Amino acid sequence: MTDETIGIVGAGIVGLATGREIALRRPGTRVVVFEKEQQVSLHQTGHNSGVVHAGIYYTPGSLKADLCVRGVSLLREYCQDRALPYQEIGKLVVAVREDELGRMENLYERARNNHVPDLRRISRDEIRELEPHAGGIAALHSPRTAITDYPAIAREFAQDITGSGGEVKLGFPVTGITNVPGGIEVASGQQRVRVDRLVLCAGLHSDSVARLAQDRREPKIIPFRGEYMLLKPDRTHLVRGLIYPVPDPRYPFLGVHFTPRVDGTVEVGPNAVLALAREGYRLGRISPRDLLGLAAYPGSWRMAAQHWRTGVKEYRGSLSTAAFMKDAGQYVPGVGAKDVVRGGAGVRAQALDRDGTLVDDFRIHQVGRITAVRNAPSPAATASMAIAEHIVTAVFDA
C-alpha cells in the first residue's frame, strides 16, 4: 500500500492506460489525470485508424516491437472482458511490383523475430481468395491483425481510474510544473495541485510540456497530418480486411491503406503531410508559434533537405483526390477518385532529433520524479497497456 498521489498529464490512451495501471498495481495510490480538453482522447487517440497492429514492422528488440506484441494480448483480453469492439479481420501487406519483394521478405523476417502469430507469405491467387478485388503479386497475410474503437477503450480506462478513487481533471491545461520539497506542483493558470510524482503523456505537446518540467529540448515534436478518404457506401464491399502497401523503410509511416472501421465504413489513408500547426487537422490551419518553432529547429531543415521530394508528393495528394487515389488504386484496381469522399484527418506527434532523424522507437525517460513519454507514435494505441506496464515496472517498481 502507498499513499502517494501520482499525476499524469494527458488523457489520451497512453496517459489513461498508465493511470489505470498505477491504480491497479499500487493500491492506495491516488491518480490524477490533467487534460486540457473538455473530453478524453480528443487528439491522436480519437483520430487514428483503429488498427490493432500485430507487430510486423518494428525492429526486433525495440520497445515498439516488444510493447506492441505484448500490448495486443493485453488489449484483446481487456476488450473481451469489457465487451468492447475487437474484430480480427486480418491484414494483407501487398507487393505490387517485383522490386518490392525483397522488402516484403525483410518484413517477413522481422515479423518472425517479433513472434507475430500465424503470419504467412501468400501468392497472387491466395490474395484473390481473401480479397477478390485486390491487386498485387504477393503478400504477407496476418490473420490476427484486428480493428477496435480506441476512444471507447480510453473512456473505459478513464472509468477504471475514477472507479479506483482517482480523478480525470478535464479543462486543465497544464501551464507550469515546479519541483517543490518532496513532490511536484502542477499548475494551470492560478490553480495548483501537488503530486508526489508525474508522468507526461502529452502527445502533440510532449516536447513543450517536457520543457515546463526542465527536461531536455530534444527531440522536438513535428506534426504530420494524416488525411483520409472514405469509400462511398456502395463501394465498401470491395474490401474485406485491411490492405496495406509494403512500406518505405525510410519512414515510420505505413503508407496509404484500406481500413475497414468497426462502424462498417472503409477508410483510405492516412497520407503524411507536414502540418503547419500541432493541431492542424485542416490544410489551411496555421499556427505562427508552431511554425516559428519548426523553423528555429535545425532538425527541421535537415529533415526537409533529406525528404523534400516525398513531402511535395504528399502535398500533391492532399490537394488532389485523384493524386491521393493514384497509389491506393494499385491495391484495389478500379477504385479511384470517383469512389471516395473526403473523410477526417488525424495529426501524428512524430519526434525529430536535432540531426534531422525521425525518431523511430518509443522514447520514455526519467527526470527526477517525472517520467516523460517523448515519442509515442503508432503503434502506441495498440501498445498502450504494455507501455503502461513498462512505465510502472521500470519506474515505479524499480
Task: Mark residues 193-212: x for contact with ligand FAD by CB under 6 A, - for none.
Answer: --------xxxxx---x---
Least spacing, CB of residue 68 vs ligand FAD, in Å: 8
For strands 167-169 and 30-34, give the pairing.
parallel
Report the site for ligand FAD in 324-353 (rule: CB under 6 A).
346-348
What Cα–Cα distance (Å) separates residue 203 from each residue in 137, 153, 279, 288, 362? 38, 17, 11, 20, 12
Tell me the chain's radius of gyration from C-alpha atoms. Answer: 21
Least spacing, CB of residue 341 vs ligand FAD, in Å: 18
Between 247 and 270, CB nearer to ligand FAD: 270
Distance CA 150, CA 147 (A): 9
How many alpha carbons fall within 13 Å on the CB side of residue 61?
0
376 binding ligand FAD? (CB under 6 A)? yes
Phi-psi region of 163 (alpha: psi -120 to 50; beta: other; left: phi over 0): alpha
Strand partners, 230: 267, 341
- Using CB under 6 A, which of the segments 7-15, 94-102, 159-167, 301-309 binds ligand FAD? 7-15
Task: Mark residues 221-250: x for contact with ligand FAD by CB under 6 A, - for none.
Answer: -----x------------------------
End-to-end C-alpha distance for the chain, whole angstroms? 16
Shortest-Cβ-distance residue relative to ligand FAD:
12
Please state the φ and ψ torsions of residue 375, each to the nearest 5 degrees. -150, 115
Nearest to 50 by CA among 252, 268, 259: 259
5 binding ligand FAD? (CB under 6 A)? no
What Cα–Cα distance (Å) separates residue 318 from each residue in 220, 227, 315? 24, 7, 5
Candidate residues 8, 75, 184, 381; the one interacting with ligand FAD per rule CB under 6 A:
381
Least spacing, CB of residue 34 vs ligand FAD, in Å: 5
Tell me the number of residues near ligand FAD by CB under 6 A: 42
Q: Contact, 95 vs 85, CB < 8 A?
A: no
Q: Where are the alpha helices (DSSP H) in 276-381?
A: 288-296, 298-319, 321-328
- Using CB under 6 A, which of the segments 295-303, 320-328, 353-361, 374-382 binds ligand FAD? 374-382
- Using CB under 6 A, which of the segments 86-94, 112-120, 352-360, 375-383 binds ligand FAD? 375-383
DSSP annotation of 396? I
DSSP string, 35-71: -SSSSSS-SGGGSS--EE--S-SSPTTSHHHHHHHHH
Least spacing, CB of residue 124 vs ligand FAD, in Å: 27
Between 203 and 247, CB nearer to ligand FAD: 203
Least spacing, CB of residue 102 vs ligand FAD, in Å: 26
* Residue 337 burial (10 A CB sphere; 0-12, 13-18, 19+): middle
Report the site for ligand FAD in 20-39 (rule: CB under 6 A).
34-37
Candidate residues 370, 380, 386, 388; the one interacting with ligand FAD per rule CB under 6 A:
380
Report the site for ligand FAD in 33-92 (rule: CB under 6 A).
34-37, 41-45, 47-51, 53
Burial 220-244 (b: 16+ CB within 10 A, else e): bbbbbbbbbbbbeeebbebbbbbbb
Candidate residues 6, 8, 12, 260; the one interacting with ligand FAD per rule CB under 6 A:
12
Between 138 and 166, CB nearer to ligand FAD: 166
Task: Mark residues 251-280: x for contact with ligand FAD by CB under 6 A, - for none.
Answer: -------------------x----------
Distance CA 139, CA 377 (A): 25
371 binding ligand FAD? (CB under 6 A)? no
Q: Contact, 35 vs 10, CB < 8 A?
A: yes
Least spacing, CB of residue 387 vs ligand FAD, in Å: 8
Nearest to 49 by CA among 80, 104, 91: 91
Residues that bind ligand FAD (CB under 6 A): 9-15, 34-37, 41-45, 47-51, 53, 173-174, 201-205, 209, 226, 270, 346-348, 376-382
